[in-house]
């Protein structure tokens, strides 16, 4: 009898790359007010980059063994010293292949100014300058597909977020959700596009990961309603919102992260549940917690698909995958920064 060996799982992240300027402060200044802040750090970030690092680090079963191939497709400014000294090393030391990252002559590397309020449990406020994330390669789905085809093979999972152009993201959703390309989409609509995501573009998405704000906005979007701002008091009933994405858009797995309250999960085949939040001694910085969760969960799904099983059989493993991703996010919030705060899988043991 010939045994079939599982192939090496492969993940491609298509998304943003930023340089993060993080200022820690006891509180945010009021209009016209100047405060003395605690510290300023400059580090590698961007939701795409963070999620790529999370995928890479979650695949290190030991300090020297990586069991998942992780590729990043993105763009930075040409000759940007921050790319060569911060972004590229952070990605590569986390096990991420950077060969498909364009160095653009027409735009600067994206940046994010992040204010972390130490007096509010590490909550953050973020201002993003898109730069190369919205130019050149990232504004042309055809070039992105060409970069994918240049890889040794198509990935098991393609991870998308909301920090690259809306039209590029919608085109990629249509391309992969057609079911003909051999890759499943894990979509984290963060931030949710002001014009939303049309129902027909979301249809067939394998994994949809949203927080408490994003799930309300996305539910409005697939109903054809304005996304709008979610205000305190808006109803959040995960058990009522999640089925809308299964029934209306055919999404296979819906995950709703609830902060300290945990994560609600729901599958198209009827498996539902809540994984409780992980208590931590002190929340220092929540910047990359959501990205850590996305990367860890996407890696678990990629491993499962590479074994030859269909996603409908993932019901038996989903709770354990959510729990592990949640534990990784909990470790992340106890550290400062974005990429550097994301744990390696062996750190969780």
84 known member of a binding site: no
Q: Which residues have a Cβ under 8 Å from the Cβ of 104 and sit 6 or more positions away?
A: 75, 76, 77, 78, 132, 135, 136, 137
Helix (H, G, I), strand (E, B) or coil at 266: strand
260 known member of a binding site: yes
18 known member of a binding site: yes
Residues 181, 208: contact at Cβ < 8 Å?
no
Helix (H, G, I), strand (E, B) or coil at 79: coil
- The CA distance from 261 to 276, in Å, is 6
32 known member of a binding site: no
85 known member of a binding site: no
- The CA distance from 224 to 104, in Å, is 36
332 known member of a binding site: yes
One of 97, 195, 291, 347 is an active-site residue; which one? 291
* Residue 291 among the catalytic residues: yes
Q: 7: which strand partners?
A: none
H-state helical runs in 60-182 = 81-82, 88-92, 141-149, 166-177
309 known member of a binding site: no
285 known member of a binding site: yes
Query: Regarding beta strands 96-97 and 110-117, do their DSSP bridges make them parallel or antiparallel, or are they unpaired?
Result: unpaired
188 known member of a binding site: no
45 known member of a binding site: no
Residues flagged as binding site: 18-20, 46-50, 163, 211, 257-262, 285, 287, 290-291, 326, 332, 335, 337, 341
Report the catalytic residues.
291
Residues flagged as binding site for substrate: 18-20, 46-50, 163, 291
Residues flagged as binding site for ATP: 211, 257-262, 290-291, 326
């Amino acid at each position: 009898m010939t045994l079939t060996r599982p192939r090496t799982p492969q993940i491609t992240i298509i998304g943003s790359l930023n340089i993060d300027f993080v200022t820690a402060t006891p509180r945010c200044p009021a209009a016209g007010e100047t405060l003395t802040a605690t510290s300023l750090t400059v580090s590698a970030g961007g939701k795409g980059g963070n999620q790529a690092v999370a995928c890479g680090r979650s695949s290190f079963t030991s300090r020297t063994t990586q069991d998942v191939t992780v590729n990043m497709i993105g763009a930075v400014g040409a000759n940007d010293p921050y790319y060569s000294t911060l972004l590229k090393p952070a990605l590569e030391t986390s096990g991420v292949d950077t060969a498909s990252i364009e160095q653009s002559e027409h735009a600067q590397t994206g940046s994010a100014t992040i204010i972390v309020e130490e007096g509010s449990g590490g909550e953050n406020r973020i201002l993003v300058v898109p730069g190369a994330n919205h130019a050149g390669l990232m504004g042309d789905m055809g070039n992105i597909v060409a970069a994918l085809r240049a890889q040794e093979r198509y990935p098991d999972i393609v991870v998308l977020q909301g920090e690259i152009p809306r039209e590029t993201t919608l085109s990629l959703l249509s391309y992969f959700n057609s079911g003909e390309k051999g890759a499943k989409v894990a979509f984290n609509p963060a931030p949710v596009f002001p014009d939303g995501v049309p129902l027909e573009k979301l249809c067939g998405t394998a994994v949809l990961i949203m927080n408490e704000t994003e799930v309300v906005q996305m539910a409005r979007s697939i109903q054809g309603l304005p996304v709008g701002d979610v205000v305190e008091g808006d109803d959040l009933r995960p058990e009522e919102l999640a089925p809308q994405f299964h029934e209306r858009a055919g999404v296979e797995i819906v995950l709703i992260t609830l902060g300290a309250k945990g994560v609600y999960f729901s599958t198209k085949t009827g498996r539902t549940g809540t994984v409780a939040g992980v208590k931590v001694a002190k929340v220092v910085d929540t910047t990359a917690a959501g990205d850590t969760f996305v990367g860890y969960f996407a890696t678990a799904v990629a491993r499962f698909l590479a074994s030859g099983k269909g996603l409908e059989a993932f019901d038996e493993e989903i709770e354990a995958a959510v729990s592990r991703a949640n534990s990784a996010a909990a470790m992340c919030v106890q550290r400062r920064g974005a990429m550097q705060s994301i744990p390696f899988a062996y750190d969780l043991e």
